[in-house]
Structure 1
Amino acid sequence: MALSAAQVKALKHKGERAFPVYTWWLYLSIIGVLTLNNIAWKLWAWRKRSTHQKQSTAQRGSTSASNLPAAILTASRIAALRWRLPVVPMNVLEILMTIAYILVLFCLEFTSTNGLQIALWADRCGHIVAIQFPLIVALSWKNSLISFMTGISYEKLNLFHRVCARVNLMLVYVHLFGTLYALGGAGGKQWFHDPYTYCGPVAGFSLTLLVMISTAPVRKRFYEFFVKAHMLLVTIIMISVTFHVTLAPPGFGFYVWPAFVFWAFDRLVRFGRWIVLNNLFQPRKSSGQIDLISDDTLLFTVNRHIPFGWYAGQHVFLSLPTLGRLQSHPFTIATIPSSDAKKDELVFIVRVREGLTKKIKQHIMEFGSCETPMFLDGPYGAPPDITPFSTCVFIAGGSGISYTLPRLEELLTQVIAKNACASRVVFVWVIRSRAHLKWVASRFSKIAASAPSDVTLVLNVHITGGSPQVEDLRDSPEADVEKDASVDDEDTKSKAELDALAEGLVITNGRPDVFKILEAEVNAAVGPVSVDVAGPASLLSDTRKALTGKFAGPGGVMKGTPTVQLNIEEFSM
């Protein structure tokens, strides 16, 4: 039955005023559920720590109904978080959430349109897109309130920042072509003379360019260009959208003003943190040391006071004004805070790639190790809490040790303080050359010496190139990574550290069998297991695949095998 003009008008009003607001009620509900889940997790972790007792090996082999909740949790983790499609760099949960977001927006767009009457959905689309801008900005925060409430790191939220932008780009074109078609007659000619009209296409074209340069190949290959272009295009988009929705009668500026508030809050917090961390008027106090420790690895060392410390696994954005101008790059802090020092030593292990790091390597090859001003912004990130787990496994490839090594050190510190449940800790590091061991030998020695007697600590290093024998390690000549040669005392110290290290470290030639390592640890565990992994994509993929095996699956859990939590450090620019 055809609707009357009054009914169509009421439907149009509802679609343009109420439907966009519905999306935010949905988002707030999801954030609320995730917040409750985060609170429940923290309460479980607290209870686990407070009631922790050394356990005997659990009875296994027979299926028990009491293990059903844990089996369901395991099955959901495997299906949602560990399975990935070959062509999409997202897990199943992320894909499903993306599909759900698309369905919600498009259903609201084309629902109650009186048989897809264009006058009812063309303008509505613009309203729905405009009210998404605060969400897009909120998901890009470094100092994210959403992250604080839900426990989800801002890096993961940033993935949905990109997803939301790309989905809304589709709606921008639906709005554009729908409006052009609806106003294509003589009545629409005057509309094309309104100044605010042109702001819409400008914003849409800028968003199109932004989405194109934000694709992973472009973003990673031309990161510095991406950062600068992103800043410029976002500025154009926000100004254009604001004029477009504010001047369009009767005015809907309230859709986008919250985005500016969110952006200003994040920038204000970042600026305040930046001022506190950096001595702007005393450059020498803001300097740090850069060394080349292998052919493809740089070591940055900064002494700086971090007022509230940091958690192992967090990162900072580091800028080198004399080498990289205004560029800022994220690097994981490879150390933990010191409890008795006025200034903490922050160490960054950096893989040499294209761009800034390649430029720094060339500079050091020509002039030797250098001291240069370093400005910090951070720390950021939300590393998962592993204190409730009885067995903790750390797997790193190359510079991924900058994430796993401080996590190991922090965990052992917490065990000593009776704030963690770990009774077995396994550390696996995969490196190309034994030269990497020289700069980390002292830390391994300290870890092995300070490990609590009631914790079984296993340290494994897998060297994929050259002989791994300890005698060769002790006697091998120092790599010429600095023009200023090390004095004999330093060589003696390194050899002594390697001698001590040999007693607590298992060095193996070749790549590790991740599946066998994890299978053995999970089958031997007496409580929940945590696995932290960082490194190249192949190592991350092998770990995911291993933890979808039967030994870590719901069938095993039903028979008494402990649950496994997988934590992957995969920073995506």
Structure 2
Amino acid sequence: MGDGIDNSPLSLTGGFNLSQIAGNYSAEYDFLQAMLDFSEFDPTNQYLAQLFWYTIAGIIGFFTLVNIGQQLIAHWRLRKIRIGALESDLFKGPLALLRFVSYPQFQVWKCKGSRSMGDLFLVLLYFAMILMFVYISGAVAGFQHWMSVAFRAGWITVAQLPLLILLAGKNNLIGYLTGTSYERLNLLHRWVARIIFFTASLHMIYLYHNFSFYGLVSMEWNTDTCPPTGTAAWVLLFWIVFSSFAPIRNLRYELFVAQHVLLYVGFTVALSYHIQPYSRSIWMYSWVPAGFFFLDRVIRLIQYAWNNVSSRGLSSQATLQMLPGEVTMVTVKNSRLRSWTPGQHALLSIPKCGHLQSHPFTIACLPSKDNGSLKFLIRAKDGFTRCLLKTAAERADAPQSLTAFVNGPYGSPKCFAQFERVILISGGTGATFTIPLLLDIAQRSSTGSIPCRNLTLIWVMKSFAQIYWFEDELREASETAKDLNLDIHIHITGGEQVSTECLDVVCLCLKEDAIQEGLEKRGCTCGFADKNKVVAKQSQLPSNITIHHGRPVWSTALANLYTTYDETGVAVAGPTGLAADVRNEVAQIELKHAMRLEDTSGLYLHIEHYGF
């Protein structure tokens, strides 16, 4: 180092006189190099990065134990083993209070990405933890004050990268341990990315402030590779985070995924060059995530090959059928994917409607039906789903098989047969999630004794024609259920009036001429003034179906819960508004339970989101 500078961290009394180096390039350069010497602070930063991961491991371990406990409780309940601790007020009261706090969901301008208060609290706790790691004992006095905070923020930024990738994969280690499906962890993935961008911005802002304060910005850019490489990494990270917001990523999701991966590769390369001059111990945090990413891709590739390729070639073929409400039923046969849990979903790809595109859809049937064929009900929107509808219309008279690829199953739905009372709530195509649960419980009740004694299905639909999607399944559930009080409530919100005398008639609201002509060929006649409506005779629907006009009043629909030692299971699949309304009503019931204002059973709530 230059004269007058010792090798210890600079301080206010470190023997350095700024007035003596002003305008002296050599002295300024020596001062800059001394300022950048953080060899004595790296061990502390490295220790805190390790402590961050010890904390994350502890959190994952805690939720792993919770998952194991839930699995054991489900196992005991299905065998009707009473668990005294779960009946105790010391357990039920705090649990009800926790649910009251975490269940509510408040929508902001009807944002589809709205989540529960529990999700919000989890993100805020993580953010608070990161701030603690950045600022706790992070600053030193003297010339290196802002530099010390900047370097600490940089270390914590890089330390979070493995967690970011662990939360992103379809084959998710955290998900396996905690019993959480990847699409739920994807929310945390996005928020961890945003917090990483925040700490990276802190790193850059503190550095710039420090160099600007001492008039060393130009010298640092001209003599060090870190500023340009760091700026490049920050710009790439900015676009990765910005493009992941729902309004942007949903414009062209396939394009979003492709650029997302490519940009992260570029970010990793830029970051590697940025940190190269400094401690090599930090490299691990930038390249380990790449290993996680490629491992997930290799596993997915093996799964795709196993599920879709046999000794005879491609093993999956799909047939398409149009249904009322611009819905396409896709039936995939001959796939090796023959086992799944009711409520799980699979990734579906049909090259006819888009190469290199794979989309998640709920499997709308049980594996025990139709020789293990998979059935998906897909509402037409844009792109892939609209192509499916048009293809089904074109081939309505002569259905043909299409090459298909499936992968999965994914998702971690709970076994609802363990609850003494179950309420299944769905809106529109959300029934693809609740109907398999309904069939599973009904089937279990017919083959053996299960805890569930009361089962209610509430299906909200715009037109009564939509009951045609699952008419056979509703009839099968009603006929199969034994020792089970099964009630089915259909709520029609489209203003259509359906009388109880006409429950054996399904009014198919059709907009596609191809379907209308096909129904007329099968003997259907028009019974309404609206030419787009065709009346198709169907067999009598089950007597336990009640028709309602208008939206459900959830305070009434969820009232009169049975008082048991066990919980009531509530599953919801549908639009964000429906899920939010049910969340908030269940939270109020849990508050009454916690405060013992009403003698109700606890409510376990599962929300299945449409989009990820």
Q: TM-score range by the shorter chain?
A: 0.7 to 0.9
Distance 1:496 1:391, change over 3 A: farther
- Counterparts of 1:112-511 in structure 2, within 5 Å, are 112=137, 113-115=139-141, 117-183=145-211, 189=219, 192-195=222-225, 198-246=228-276, 248-250=278-280, 252-279=282-309, 285-307=315-337, 309-338=339-368, 343-366=371-394, 368=396, 371-418=401-448, 420-452=450-482, 454-465=483-494, 466-469=496-499, 471-472=501-502, 474-475=504-505, 479=510, 482=515, 485=518, 498-511=538-551
Are residues 1:97 and 2:122 paired? yes
Residue equivalent to 1:5: 8
Whole-angstrom CA distance in 1 between matches of 2:590 and 2:129: 38
Equivalent pairs, count: 555
Shift of 1:250: 4.4
Whole-angstrom CA distance in 1 between matches of 2:181 and 2:50: 26
Q: Distance in 2 between matches of 1:567 and 1:118?
A: 46
- 1:274-310 CA distances to partner (integer Å, 9 max, x unpaired)? 1111138967742211222123322111114345611
Larger Cα Rg: Structure 1 or Structure 2?
2
Distance 2:325 2:70 in 1: 43
CA distance in 2, matches of 1:27, 1:198: 32
Which of 1 and 2 has higher RCO (CA within 8 Å, sep 6+)? Answer: 1
**Aligned 8 A contact 2:488 2:546 in 1:** yes
Contact 1:317–1:331 at 8 Å: present in 2 too? yes
What is the match of residue 57 of structure 1? none
Encode CA deviations 1:388-427: one digit per residue, 9 max, x unaligned. Answer: 2100000111000000000111122333344741001001
Judge which range, 143-152 or 241-250, deviates more.
241-250
Alpha-carbon distance in 2 for matches of 1:156, 1:531: 18
Moved more, 173-182 or 98-107: 173-182
Kept in 2, the 8 Å contact 1:35–1:150? The answer is yes
Unaligned 5+ segments in structure 2 are: 1-5, 12-37, 526-533
- 1:28 paired with 2:45, answer no
User: Per the alignment, in what secondary structure is the counterpart of residue 82 of structure 1?
Assistant: coil
- Please point out which of 104, 125, 140 is paired with 1:82: 104
- TM normalised by structure 1 equals 0.88
Q: Is the 1:304–1:346 Cα contact (8 Å) retained in structure 2?
A: no
Residues 147, 417 of structure 1: alpha-carbon distance in 2 compared, 3 angstrom cutoff? farther
Partner of 1:69: 91
Distance 1:409 1:138, change over 3 A: same
Identity among equivalent positions (%) equals 26
Cα gap change, 1:418/1:203 in structure 2, threshold over 3 Å: closer, same or farther? farther
Give, as a single letter, the amino acid of the residue that structure 1 aligns with 2:59: I
The separation in 1 between residues aligned to 2:192 and 2:589, in whole angstroms, is 36
Shifted more, 483-492 versus 249-258: the winner is 483-492
Contact 1:427–1:459 (CA under 8 A) maintained in structure 2: yes
Q: TM-score, normalised by structure 2?
A: 0.82
Q: Can you list the C-alpha shifts for 1:248-277, whole angstroms capped at 9, x where unaligned?
A: 454631122221221122112111111111
For residues 21-73 of structure 1, the C-alpha deviation after alignment (integer angstroms, 9 at most, x for no partner) is: 111011000001111111122222222222358xxxxxxxxxxx953421221
Deviates more, 1:404-413 or 1:275-284: 275-284
More divergent stretch after superposition (459-468 vs 144-153): 459-468
Q: Secondary structure at the match of 1:327?
A: coil
Residue by residue over 1:436-470, the C-alpha shift from the partner in whole angstroms, topping out at 9 and shown as x without a partner, is 22232111111111111x11111222222322235
Q: Comparing both structures, which one devotes a greater share of its residues to helix?
A: 1
Other-structure match for 1:50: 79
Aligned with 1:16 (options 42, 45, 48):
45
CA contact (8 A) 2:308 2:336 kept: no
Does the Cα contact within 8 Å between 1:245 and 1:251 map onto a contact in 2? no
Aligned-partner SS, 2:587: coil
The equivalent of 2:531 in structure 1 is none
Counterpart residue identity of residue 430, structure 2: G
| Unaligned ranges ≥5, structure 1 | 54-64
Using the alignment, how far apart are the partners of 1:96 and 1:191 within structure 2?
41
Write the distance in 1 (CA, Å) between the matches of 2:310 and 2:607. Answer: 35
Question: Paired residue for 2:553?
Answer: 513
